Chains A and B, each alone.
Chain A
């Protein structure tokens, strides 16, 4: 039961959404955009989030697209993870995104969780971000100052750095990178539903492997120094992995009810090994 009340405002255009935001912010309601609203509901009920207005962006047509256009795979922020995981187009053009989406939460929850919600949420893992990081996708944002498009590596630093009133409308990914050889690994404490101990998305571009990981830090990350170490093909595999893991900032590694720090690092090693084994052609 959410103990506070808020206004629920479905927006049908980006302009309407932004207008709602501006007016509700002015009224001191600390408005939030929402996709599936599952995080708004679950964090709201335990007092970790509060707001006076929730602006639903799912009905905005541009947030609903799932398409290939001008050498880009475009996914709307309001699309659910199930839609992504089940989409034939995504399976063909950006299978890594489908794979990461399919492993998040459970299917019924995925029927509601949106791509935008997963990317912009507070929960550490945000696993749908991983494919976007390795593929250097672009994000398309709408806000009071209009639209902007930025590459992930510029706007994503632990979180998506949105300006006040801004929201995610779409992600756009280069078709070549989206179609690169890929592997997605998710390791949980146990079972096939749950948060990751470690999850990783990887692609191979030319001879180089790119990796982004969740579950290691309290945020998803693509670490270039880790990649560099991993790509030192002149070294034996175990040394490459050790070198890669030694780039990890141990003091930042998650250490919680899901897994202790040392174990996360052990799992990370194994995940990296699996990635290299399957991508090192």
Chain B
């Protein structure tokens, strides 16, 4: 057991963790942030994706202790942008279990790449599995959100914290 100070969604908090505990378990079990989901706990599905210093990471693969001194952003802490609206408008989710992971990843994509090409979008989003939709809807949502941003539709794109 060791104390670790985490900055999650802009809030600084010290938690006592086992060295072998993953960030996913600490977020969900100790911090009450259940947005990141366990889907495989093996790095394969992306449902647990969070941002660590702005970079998408699978929280099930990351030791909580490794995230000390980093800025962690979960779906709960994502700024509200065109992206969420586009996910709703384009029917980019059904059961919603994969959605936090997709949103976090797509958010980072749009933050890092000004105009993601279809190839780039695939390179990023193939990290996540959605069993409900056909992916066409997610593709449409990400494109819609990127276009909306380019057209200056209101929506804040700053990373928090």
Contacts and interface: CB of A to CB of B under 8 A. Distances in A.
B19 A106 contact: no
Interface stretch (A41-49, A158-166, A169-177): A41-49
Contacts of A107: 56, 123-124, 126-127
Contacts of A54: 19, 63
Given A2-B20, A5-B18, A37 B62 contact: yes
Contacts of B43: 38, 41-42, 105, 109
A111 interface: yes
Given A8-B19, A41-B43, A41-B61, 10 more contacts: A2-B22, A7-B2, A8-B20, A54-B63, A56-B66, A107-B126, A109-B58, A109-B61, A112-B58, A192-B126
Contacts, number: 79
12 contacts: A2-B22, A5-B1, A5-B18, A5-B19, A10-B66, A42-B42, A42-B43, A108-B124, A109-B58, A109-B127, A112-B57, A112-B61
A38 B127 CA distance: 15
B21 A36 contact: no
Contacts of A108: 46, 49, 56-58, 105, 124, 127-128
A7 to B, nearest CB: 5
Interface string B41-76: 111001001000001111011110110000000000
Interface of A: 1-2, 4-8, 10, 36-38, 41-42, 44-45, 54, 56, 105-109, 111-112, 192-193
B139 to A, nearest CB: 15
Given A112-B57, A112-B58, A193-B126, A37 B41 contact: no
Contacts of B19: 5-8, 54
| Size band of the interface chain B makes with A | 20 to 34
Interface centre among A2, A44, A105 (most CB of B within 10 A): A2
Interface string B91-121: 0000000000000010000000000000000
What are the 5 A-B residue pairs with the smallest beta carbon separation, nearest first? A108-B127, A106-B127, A8-B19, A2-B20, A8-B65
B123 to A, nearest CB: 5
Nearest to B42: A42
A205 B79 CA distance: 52
A6 B19 CA distance: 5
Contact of A42 (B56, B61, B105, B122): B61
A4 B18 CA distance: 9
Nearest to B22: A41
